[in-house]
Each structure stands twice: as C-alpha cells, then as structure tokens.
Structure 1
Amino acid sequence: MKSDKKIRVHFKSNHANPDSFPPTIEGENVFAMTKERFDKAITNYPDLIHKIEPIFDWDLDNFYESMKTAEVLVCWDFPTENLSEIAPNLKWIHIIGAGVEHLCPMDWVPENVSVVNNRGVHSAKAGEFGLMSVLMLHTHIPEIVRNQQSNHWESLYSSPIVGKTLLVIGVGNIGYAAAQKCKLLGMNVIGASRHGKDLDDIDQMVTQDELDEVLPLADYIFMSTPNTKETYNLLDKRRQSLMKPGVGIINVGRAATMDYDALVDNLNSGHIKAAIIDVFDPEPLPSDSKLWTTPNLMVMPHISADDGDTYIPLTLDLVMMNMRRYIAHEGLNNLVNPELGY
C-alpha cells in the first residue's frame, strides 16, 4: 500500500555571529537555506516534490519543537546533547560543510542516525583558488603587494612554473582539485593522505607517516586537511624546519593543522618565502593578531572554497540525491565516519 506520509526535513540556517558560523553578515546570505532556494532546487527533482515536507528555521527559534517529528536535519551546527530524546524520528543529518570537527568527538551520534557532509561542493572553486595561490606565490605577489604598500619599486622576476614541485597535504576533493589544476601547468605533484593510495594526475602518493621524506622536495605546499586527532598541528615547528628554504605555503584546511607561531618565525627569517592563509582560529581574525603584519603573509577571509552564488544550490542537490537514496533504502553518499571525524 502506498504511503502518503511526507518526510519532514528541518533546514536550520544561522544568523551571522562571530562566535558561530557564519561569522560575518556577508556569509549569512551565502549559507542561508530558504524556502525560495529549496523551491528552485526541487524543480530538478520532480519525483520528490510531494515526498518532502521542509521546515525552514533560523538558529534555535523553533528547533526543539520541529525536531520532535523531523526525520532529516540539514544544518551547520545544533545541540547534540540527548539527541535521541529531542529527535526520536531522526534518521540522518546533513552537515553543510566538509569539516565536522566542531561536532567532535562524535560520541553523541545515535546508533540509528547517519551523518553526511558536503564533500564535493567546494571542489571547483577550491581548485581555482589553489591554482591562483600557487601562481601568486610563484610570481612573488605577496612581496610585490608589500612593496607597493611601502612605495618600494623592485623587479621580482619569475620563470615558468613547469617542473616545480607541489606537495598537496590532504588529497580529498579540495586538495585533488587543486592538484589537477596545477598538474596542467606541468608541475610535479606529490600527494600526502592517510591512505596514500595512487590517484590520477598525481605523480607520487605517500602516507602521512612519510611526510617528513617529501617535505624537503616541495617548492610549494598546499594544505587542505580537516582538523582531526591525526592532523592536529601536522605542520609543526619541526616539520616546518624540514621544508626547502624559500618554500611557499597555502592553507585552506583548518588553522589547527599548522603551527602559525612557527610560520610567523619562518616568514620573518625568510626560511618560508611567502604564505597564503585562508583559515584561522578564531574567525574573523582579531585586529591585533600578528598575522596581519607578518611579512609576505596574505590573509584571506575564509573564501577559498565557498562559492557565493552556488554553494546552497549545490548543497541542496546533495540533499536531494541522498533523499532519493534514502527513499530507495540505499546507502547515503558522503557518509562521515564518527570515529575518524570526517
């Protein structure tokens, strides 16, 4: 017998709050999941139009009442304590970011609830940002900008980038997209990941345990790892000392994966030539942080992978595709392993 019962989906958006996400008013509209955006997205999934009952909410305004009957939760953050009691019908949670460290440790996840993330939404934008950043470092843009600020003229020449070595630490969707773009320029690309499995367009893959061996080979390093127990302070002071003098560094993953105090010291000494950093803790970066004035360090306001036009439409596509799988009793895509935290 066909059931007319609809699947209740709670979409929780956040107002801008410097202690939460998004931290700025500019991000509030980018990441808002509204009825208008949902209605537009579901037109591409006509089979789901009469199968979903969406609820749109801000912060915790109606969260507890709505979660009494919600089967699916789509959000960035939420109260995890006593989730089984608060949301007895909950079956899966879609986190609208790739990283879920803000919800770790994930010992709160009920046995019958699946957690998925936004893996893949960031790839196109992040790949372009990675390519741009590597080229900016190679053509001395951080130094040139600093020279302009001090009215200093100095011809800083650069050669074609072909043959230079890029080390990508964290070869998930974001890191792999950047690696593929840079490989098109004729760069030698090394990838480091937990598993170290071979990937197309990457010349050499190593495990995280082999990182010390490849750090001295890199002309440029692209960090795109989540913050987990395995990656916390991964590029610490010791590992930064192993890097080739004059190396350039990019971090689009998480601030906690790199020792920024050591980075500042290495930029001041010239051991690291320049850096482009897109992730900080806290965010926004406080006005009195020494990172603002460190020579040849470019501060990016966490914009490397978030597309202001398509982020939520792409997110809703992931939700809809998983909704089809859920209805068909198939495994969900982008499952997060609570033990690993990604």
Structure 2
Amino acid sequence: MTNVLLTFPIKERFRNALKDQFPKVNFDFSDTIEGADEKEVEILVTYGSDLTEKVLDGLTELKWVMVASAGVDQMPLAGLGERGILVTNVSGIHKTPMAESILAHILSLNRALPIIQEQQKQKIWEKMKSNELKGSTALILGPGSIGGEVGRLLQAFGVNTIGCSRSGNRHDGMHEDILFNEIENTLPRADYVISVLPSTSETRWLLDESHFEKMKKTAVFMNFGRGDLVRERVVVHALQNEQIAHAVLDVFEQEPLPSDSPLWELSNCTVSPHVSALSAKYVERALEIFKENLEMWLSGDEGYKNVIETDRGY
C-alpha cells in the first residue's frame, strides 16, 4: 500500500472521505511530522514549514510532497529537486478569499469605514471625506490566479487594471500588462499598488525607496504576497514622510510582526496578521486538488496539477 502522511489536522468527515475513495492507500492522520522517518512515508501532505532539510534527509522513501498552501519558499527546495521528488501545491484555491479581502480593504478605506467606526466609539456625528473606485487605476504585481481575480472584481467597479509580471504576457482581469522593469514608469499612474507576488529570486526585494518616491501621494500600497517584496524600513519611511497615503499589509519581513515595529503605531497603516487567505472552505478545496493528483499518481498518469519547479520556486 502507498503510505501517505498528513501533518496537519483535518475533520473526521474529510478523513473518512479519503479512506473511502482510496481504500488501497494507508493514510496516517497523526497530524505531526515527528517520527516520520520511521514510517516509510511515500507521500507527504503538509503546510510546508515542518519539512526541514534534516527531516527530509530522514524520509528516504519520499516521492511526492503535496503542499497545502501556495507558498513553498520555506521548504528545502534544493534538496527536493536533487532527489527528483515531485512537489505540488494548491495554487488557485486562495483567489476567492484573498481577492475579497483586498477588495474589502479598498472599499473600507474609500468609504471611510475606519473613521465611521472610530466616530461611533466616541459618539461623534460628523461628516467625513470619502471616495469612489470608478475611474481609478490599480497596478497589480503578480496577475496570476489571485491577481486575475482581484483585477476582475476591480474592473466591475470601473477600475483600470494593469498587470505586472516577469513575462509581461497578457493576463485575464487586466486591461494592460507590463514587465517588472516597467514598474517605475507605471507607478505614477497607479492609485493602488497591489502585490500578490510569491517569494522567488526575481521578486525578493523587488521594490525599494525609488519606487515609493514615484508613487502618488494619494496612493495606497497593499502587500498580500510575501514580506520579502520590500524592506519594512522602506515602507515605514514612505508612510512617515507621507510619500503615499496608506499601506495595507497582510505579510511582513518578520512574522509575527514584532511589537516594537513602527507599523503598529502608524495611523496610515493597516496591519493584517497574514489572514487574507483564510476561509472555511480552505481545507476542502486543498483536499480536492490532492485527491485529483492522487488519482493520477495511483493510475501512473503524470498530468499533475500545480507542479512546482524546485529550481524556480513556483
């Protein structure tokens, strides 16, 4: 039998569904990677962070790692690649909750909801300024599955969307597409700069001081991809000096965000504790992709979904 270890907890109904659909597979639902080196694990289903180089060395029978998240930057990709181990993820399942989170923050800021809530606490009846989305422009760094859904929703509100990627190829949900090296020339046009980029050698520290200097003073910067897109000190400087109007950050250079970080205290910064992808449907969607790939694995087919190129990190 094929030995599969899941290192995160799933509900009983999901466990039963897996066992019913795959009676010839031995599922280990112990919810931990500890002791995995003694279990002859062939397939590992993990969120990723528990698979270290040391653990990988002990998994001598491992042939496939199914990562139940989109990011794989914390994993020993070099070692996985050297051993020819298949790596897949659940790219695509985050697009709905993340796009809705991003849209919620944009609408909240535009319609002054934080101010309304604060005034309610203080029992203040006072008008405040608010804006509308129609006619604005959003520069979306990473116009893939998530970025495309963000673009589609924004277009419904009359927003002009510009996708920015390594290839510059045409993407769904974008009115226009540009290359990474065209960012600086495009920033002066953007009312919203939204990043959903993964962490790769090409995206790490992609933005610096020069980029924020070119943004509109009324612009909103939003990072929902990875915290190593830009140094925290760069964002802090831009906010303190009002180079931009606001920042909404769901990911950070260091997580959890240290209590002494200036970002906590800045009134023009929204700190979100890496929660934009959370959804009650998360595990269900992740397991659907796993089951589809497991069917292929058992039948000898190789048309797997969401295969990660370990040398590129995505």
If the length of structure 2 is used for normalisation, what is the TM-score? 0.90
Instruction: Find the aligned partners of 1:193 and 1:166 in 2 and give their Cα distance.
Output: 14
Counterparts of 1:129 and 1:53, CA distance in 2: 38
Match of 1:132 in 2: 104
Residue 64 of structure 1 is matched in structure 2 by: 37
2:180 to 208, 225, 231: 208
* Structure of higher RCO (CA pairs closer than 8 Å, 6+ residues apart): 1
Q: Is 1:51 the equivalent of 2:46?
A: no
1:145 Cα shift?
5.9
Matched, 1:120 2:92: yes
Q: CA deviation at 1:262?
A: 1.9
Is 1:316 the equivalent of 2:311? no
CA distance in 1, matches of 2:212, 2:103: 22
Alignment of 1:1-342 (within 5 A): 6-13=1-8, 32-33=9-10, 35-40=12-17, 42=18, 48-66=21-39, 69-75=40-46, 76=48, 77-81=50-54, 83=56, 86-103=58-75, 106-141=78-113, 155-307=127-279, 309-328=280-299, 329-342=301-314
- What is the Cα deviation at residue 152 of structure 1? 7.8
Question: What's the CA shift for 1:73?
Answer: 0.6
C-alpha separation in 1, matches of 2:267 and 2:121: 12
**Farther-moved stretch of structure 1 (147-156 vs 220-229):** 147-156
2:38 corresponds to which letter in structure 1?
A: E
CA distance, structure 1, for counterparts of residue 106 and residue 60 of structure 2: 48
Cα-to-partner distance string for 1:20-63 (whole Å, 9 max, x where unaligned):
xxxxxxxxxxxx235543224x38xx6x3313210122333321
Q: Which amino acid aligns with 1:93?
A: V
Return the offset for 1:109.
2.9
Of 123-132 and 279-288, more deviation after overlay is shown by: 279-288
| 1:166-199 Cα deviation digits (max 9, x unpaired) | 1110112222211111111111000111111112
Distance 2:213 2:188 in 1: 9
- 8 Å CA contact 1:72–1:91 kept in 2: the answer is yes
Counterparts of 1:238 and 1:293, CA distance in 2: 24
CA offsets per residue over residues 282-305 of structure 1, 9 Å max, x none? 322222221110121111111101
Structure 1 residues 322 and 271, CA gap change in structure 2 (3 angstroms): same
* Deviation string, structure 1 residues 61-103 (Cα, Å, up to 9, x no partner): 321112xx222111123133484x6333322101111111111
Matched residue of 1:234: which SS?
A: coil
Task: Supply the distance in 2 between the matched residues of 1:264 and 1:79 (Cα, whole angstroms).
Answer: 32
How many matched pairs? Answer: 311
CA-CA distance at 1:147 after TM superposition: 7.0
TM-score of the two chains, using structure 1 as the length reference: 0.83
Q: 8 Å contact 1:126–1:304 — kept in the other structure?
A: yes
Whether the 8 Å CA contact 1:197–1:206 is kept in 2: the answer is yes
Question: Which letter does structure 2 place at the counterpart of 1:214?
Answer: T
Paired AA for residue 54 in structure 1: F
Does the 8 Å CA contact 1:268/1:295 hold for their aligned counterparts? no
Change (3 A) 1:286 1:82: closer
Q: Distance in 1 between matches of 2:272 and 2:199?
A: 19
Question: Aligned partners of 1:104 and 1:212: how far apart in 2?
Answer: 33
Aligned residue in 2 for 1:26: none
Contact residue 89 and residue 306 of structure 2 kept, 8 A: yes
CA 1:162–1:149 in structure 2 vs 1: closer, same or farther (change >3 Å)? Answer: same
Kept after mapping to 2: 8 A contact 1:137/1:275: no
- Please state how far the C-alpha of 1:153 moved relative to its aligned partner: 7.3
Q: Which runs of 5 or more residues in structure 1 are unaligned?
A: 1-5, 14-31
